[in-house]
Amino acid sequence: MGLEKIRAEVVSQIIAELNPEVQGSFLASDPDEVLESSPTFLERFNFIIASNMKPQSLKKLAQFCWDKDKVLIIVRSYGMIGYIRLVSKSHDIVEAKLDQDIDDLRLSNPWPNLQAFSDEQDFSKMEMKEHSHTPYPAILIKALKQWREKNGKNVPASRDEKEAFKESIKDLALSFYEEENFQEAYNKYFQAIQPSEIPQSVQDVFEDELCKNLNANSNDFWFMAAALKQFVANEGQGTLPVQGRVPDMHADTDRYIKLQTLYRRKARNDVNSVRTHLGQLLKTHGKQSESISDSDLKDFCKNACYLRALHFRSYQDELSSPNKSEIRNHLMNPESAMPHYVMFRAADRFYEKNNRFPGDDNSNLEADAAELHKLVKDLLNEYEVEDGSVGDIFDSHVKEMVRYGACELHNISSLIGGVGGQELIKLCTKQRIPLNNTWIYSGITSHSCTFEA
């Protein structure tokens, strides 16, 4: 259905058929021509996907995207191997949606109301039922207070001190093996001795040039990040706003709700403090204080420990000054998919010289292999890979690459397209952490690797 028709036309028709809400259009032109004569066509888009483009055109497109601050996603399906590269000058993430939540309950440095809640719990006056349903954060705060009074130190640091602290939790129980809340406290003892640290990824956001140099064109993320930074330096006394979330635990309803209320109130107060800083910053740069909504700021503060900012290297930089050490490190690992990265680079150079990929003309497979082999050698020299350190693994990779002849397999394309789609969704929604910045996949070993090229 559609033989001899214009590919772009058929694809856009069929894709639009899948969802009536999608507006599909196409341009049946050489990408080079579009870049030369009608770049305005490309300026309409925020995200540009380059799929199996020829190397020279890709370079031009990448330059265009970098200059115009467009997000570029390069996707390649090549025989049994695949490649994805993301380029975005600056990408900020509020909802990282990590697999594991970071729970910071401030147990090692409780604010006065939380300390008071723990102090109110008088174990000596409790019956078993009440005792065994005291929320574990209160137990840990109490245990830490006792430990501090006894040892005159802030938190247990050495292994012995930690062990002693752990055991002191048992001593607080009436019957440790019957009281699940005390077991919970025992198992989560580290929450009490862990200082409330600001994750490195968040410190990086604070130190980002975009955070330090706000201007009227800065986006909401950076205004909020700058306000958050001021909060940390002032009211927060070195900590991020309280998240307000209290995890599941063994507790009676009454005290669980009291605890929850404490955390929520503190979280609300912290957001209000950040709001004040934000208002000042917006005003300084001539913006309305309402230009950032309360709910956005609330979400931002709730996710404060997950904040991230990524700055992708440009494709041009990758080609002109490759990340040699990363490449070398990966090549040392025999399971790494890194050799395929080298193969892609070599095949691209082959294309630039011959205007075709190696092996796509069946008549001179051996000549192509020899030429490709030489290109690989050059590249390894450029990457300063010591002679002999990678053995002769590239002999077979060169043969494979020539055999592929830039053919596409449906199932490999399905896989690569799926991962590419996934990354596009991450970039669009600013949720989750996109890969930074290159992904190489091998269908032979089914291994893949990501690295910053």
Positions touching other proteins (CB under 8 A) are 1, 17-20, 79-80, 97-100, 129, 133, 247-254, 256-258, 260-261, 264-265, 333, 337, 403-405, 407-419, 421-422, 425-426, 432-433, 435, 439, 441, 443, 445-450
Q: In this complex, which beta carbon is closest to other proteins, that of residue 186 or of residue 306?
A: 306
CB of 441 to other proteins, least distance (A): 7
DSSP 386: P
Q: In this complex, which beta carbon is closest to other proteins, that of residue 16 or of residue 27?
A: 16
Q: In this complex, which beta carbon is closest to other proteins, that of residue 172 or of residue 424?
A: 424
Q: In this complex, which beta carbon is closest to other proteins, that of residue 156 or of residue 244?
A: 244
Query: How far apart are the C-alpha atoms of 244 and 265, rounded to whole Å?
Result: 8
CB of 139 to other proteins, least distance (A): 15
Structure tokens, 70: 């467009």
Q: State how far the alpha carbon of 176 is from the alpha carbons of 67, 92, 279, 447, in Å.
A: 64, 46, 51, 47
CB count, 10 Å around CB of 414?
10
Q: In this complex, which beta carbon is closest to other proteins, that of residue 100 or of residue 295?
A: 100
Q: In this complex, which beta carbon is closest to other proteins, that of residue 229 or of residue 308?
A: 308
CB of 335 to other proteins, least distance (A): 8
Q: In this complex, which beta carbon is closest to other proteins, that of residue 157 or of residue 425?
A: 425
Cis bond upstream, residue 437 (ω within 30): yes
CB of 234 to other proteins, least distance (A): 26
Query: How far apart are the C-alpha atoms of 416 and 187, rounded to whole Å?
Result: 42
Q: In this complex, which beta carbon is closest to other proteins, that of residue 206 or of residue 263?
A: 263
Query: How far apart are the C-alpha atoms of 246 and 260, rounded to whole Å?
Result: 6
CB of 159 to other proteins, least distance (A): 23
In DSSP notation, 43-97 reads HT-SEEEEES--HHHHHHHHHHHHHTT-EEEEEEEEBTEEEEEEE-S-EEESB--
Q: In this complex, which beta carbon is closest to other proteins, that of residue 19 or of residue 217?
A: 19
CB of 434 to other proteins, least distance (A): 9
286 Rama sector, left if φ>0, alpha if ψ -120 to 50, beta otherwise = left
Query: How far apart are the C-alpha atoms of 70 and 314, rounded to whole Å?
Result: 12
> How wide is the angle at C-alpha 80 spanned by C-alphas 75 and 81, nearest 5°?
40
CB of 403 to other proteins, least distance (A): 7
SS3 readout for 10-53? HHHHHHHHHCCCCCCCCCCCCHHHHHHHCCHHHHCCCEEEEECC
Helix (H), strand (E) at residue 376: helix 365-382
CB of 451 to other proteins, least distance (A): 9
CB of 244 to other proteins, least distance (A): 11
Q: Are 87 and 72 in contact (CB under 8 A)?
A: yes
Helix axes 365-382, 393-404, angle to 10 degrees: 130
Query: How far apart are the C-alpha atoms of 120 and 142, rounded to whole Å?
Result: 10
Query: How far apart are the C-alpha atoms of 394 and 340, rounded to whole Å?
Result: 9
Q: In this complex, which beta carbon is closest to other proteins, that of residue 325 or of residue 445?
A: 445
- Helix, strand, or coil here: 408? strand
CB of 432 to other proteins, least distance (A): 5
Q: State how far the alpha carbon of 167 is from the alpha carbons of 174, 190, 211, in Å.
A: 14, 13, 45
- Helix, strand, or coil here: 219? coil
- Helix, strand, or coil here: 435? coil
CB of 305 to other proteins, least distance (A): 14
Q: In this complex, which beta carbon is closest to other proteins, that of residue 38 or of residue 113?
A: 113
Q: In this complex, which beta carbon is closest to other proteins, that of residue 168 or of residue 413?
A: 413
CB of 77 to other proteins, least distance (A): 10
User: Which single residue is written with the structure tokens 């440009």?
Assistant: 314
